[in-house]
């Protein structure tokens, strides 16, 4: 995201200030012309008109806002949060921000880091209209599409959680479909041909499906979304459903499989690795009810053993 924003700002003769708790992660941006702010959010809030933030969780967002308010921040500052946080947290920090003269805009994004590099992110934008219009050109520089969902920043994060719920459910569905095919002698890649036919070639579906086909769950160069992160987001989805009286049984299943991955020491694998938990469940069921020596089942058991090793 920041790389695309930097290129856009440079073309307009403007400067990008950056901060990361791990300074080395911002080095490429600095080498390309960005200014590293060692003073963190407080320093940025005193110098910048707009701050784009991507925090890991709700606590980090609240800490950022608290630090900025102690600054004090520059007059007219607009704070744009791009991460997936719970709507109630957004309500809390946006109210606090506005009470202290900071405009809060929500713009969570759909897309993994590799999608960000290719400018394939989709932004979900919400907040007071006059502030949204000020940040829109910068959001457009980092995304391929922007969805407007209203003036209430909370709605952007509701939309993001609903979207992540569908992605999580899709991952679960493909994992179960591949496993069903595999125990009956059908290669995972052949299952994906049917998936591609049904879902119309979505790069999200294809990306996760191909990772499952090849067990390619290791995250390299930050290009992936971890099991730990997935459990955080699905936890938010479950809380949103519980507090609104909705039922999301698919999400409950996803949470169980992500927790299984955490317990197996796979917290830092891509969350598509929940397929490993699905296979483990199926293997346990097969062992409990079937003593068949059918070749497909034997091959499935052999492959599962290799994955565990």
- Could you confirm whether domain 158-308 is CATH 1.10.1040.10? yes
**Can you name the CATH fold of 2-151?**
Rossmann fold (3.40.50)
* Region(s) of the chain under CATH 1.10.1040.10: 158-308
The residue ranges of DSSP E strands in 84-234, in sequence order, are 103-106, 109-110, 122-125, 145-148
Share of the chain above pLDDT 70, in %: 92
Q: Which of 105, 97, 114 is nearest to 157 (CA)?
A: 105
Write out the H or E segment, with its range, that includes residue 229: helix 227-244
CA max distance for the chain: 73
Closest CA to 59 of 212, 198, 236, 207: 236
User: Which sign, positive or negative, has the C-alpha torsion 263, 272, 118, 150?
Assistant: negative
The Cα 285–Cα 27 span in angstroms is 50
User: Are 21 and 37 a contacting pair, CB within 8 Å?
Assistant: no
Indicate if the pLDDT at residue 68 is higher than 90.
yes
- Is pLDDT at 223 greater than 90 in this prediction? no
Mean pLDDT within 203-215: 92
Q: Tell me what pLDDT residue 118 has.
A: 85
Judge contact between 4 and 137, C-beta under 8 A.
Answer: no
Catalytic residue among 10, 92, 119, 160: 160
CATH 3.40.50.720 maps onto the chain at: 2-151
Q: What is the mean pLDDT of residues 74-101?
A: 96
Asked about 117 being catalytic, the answer comes back as no
- Cα(19)–Cα(68) distance, rounded to whole angstroms? 13
What pTM, to 2 d.p., does this model score?
Answer: 0.89
Q: Are 163 and 110 in contact (CB under 8 A)?
A: yes
Task: Kindly report, residue by residue over 255-282, the tens digit of the pLDDT.
Answer: 999 999 999 999 999 999 999 999 998 8
Pick the closest to residue 55 from 262, 232, 270 (CA basis): 232
| Tens digit of each residue's pLDDT (9 = 90 or more) over 129-168 | 999 999 999 999 999 999 999 999 999 999 999 999 999 9
* Radius of gyration, CA atoms only, the chain: 22
């Amino acid at each position: 995201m920041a790389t695309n924003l930097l290129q856009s700002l440079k073309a307009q003769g403007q400067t990008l200030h950056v901060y990361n708790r791990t300074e080395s992660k911002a080095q490429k941006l600095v080498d390309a012309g960005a200014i590293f702010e060692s003073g963190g959010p407080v320093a940025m809030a005193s110098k910048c008109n707009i701050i784009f933030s991507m925090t890991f969780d709700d606590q980090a967002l609240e800490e950022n806002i608290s630090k900025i308010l102690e600054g004090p921040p520059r007059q007219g500052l607009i704070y744009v949060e791009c991460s997936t946080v719970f709507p109630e947290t957004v309500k809390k920090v946006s109210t606090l921000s506005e009470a202290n003269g900071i405009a809060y805009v929500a713009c969570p994004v759909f897309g993994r880091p590799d999608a960000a590099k290719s400018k394939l992110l989709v932004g979900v934008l919400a907040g007071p209209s006059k502030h949204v219009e000020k940040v829109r050109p910068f959001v457009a520089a980092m995304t391929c599409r922007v969805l407007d969902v209203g003036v209430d920043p909370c709605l952007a994060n509701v939309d993001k959680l609903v979207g992540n719920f569908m992605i999580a459910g899709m991952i679960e569905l493909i994992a179960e479909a591949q496993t069903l095919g595999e125990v009956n002698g059908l290669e995972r890649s052949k299952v994906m041909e049917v998936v591609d036919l049904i879902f119309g070639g979505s790069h999200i579906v294809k990306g996760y499906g191909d990772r499952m086909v090849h067990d390619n769950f290791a995250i390299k160069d930050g290009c992936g979304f971890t099991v730990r992160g997935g459990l955080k987001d699905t936890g938010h989805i479950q809380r949103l459903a519980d507090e609104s009286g909705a039922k999301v049984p698919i999400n409950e299943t996803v949470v169980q499989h992500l927790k299984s991955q955490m317990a197996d020491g796979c917290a830092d694998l891509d969350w598509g690795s929940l397929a490993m938990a699905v296979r483990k469940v199926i293997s346990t069921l097969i062992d409990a009810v079937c003593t068949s020596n059918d070749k497909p089942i034997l091959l499935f058991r052999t492959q599962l053993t290799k994955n565990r090793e």
